[in-house]
């Protein structure tokens, strides 16, 4: 399982070599199930509740 707060489209910015990024992302994403979540962080929601 790989979890990231950075969208997959921005992962190329993490690598200095485009070829390495292509290779790495191809192997990770080829047969992967992707779950993209949008919305407020659960941690932020918990902290808001504690402050109220």
Give pLDDT tens digits for 1-52.
888 888 878 888 888 888 988 898 888 888 888 888 888 777 887 877 776 6
Alpha-carbon span 4 to 28, nearest angstrom: 13
DSSP state of 32: -
The contacts of residue 24 (CB under 8 Å, 6+ apart) are 15
Alpha-carbon span 11 to 15, nearest angstrom: 7
Domain segments of the chain: what residues?
A: 8-51
Q: What pTM value is reported for the model?
A: 0.50
Alpha-carbon span 29 to 23, nearest angstrom: 10
């Amino acid at each position: 399982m790989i979890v990231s707060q950075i969208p997959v489209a921005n992962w190329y910015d993490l690598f200095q070599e485009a070829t390495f990024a292509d290779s790495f992302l191809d192997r990770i994403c080829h047969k992967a199930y992707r779950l993209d979540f949008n919305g407020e962080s659960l941690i932020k929601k918990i902290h808001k509740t504690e402050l109220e």
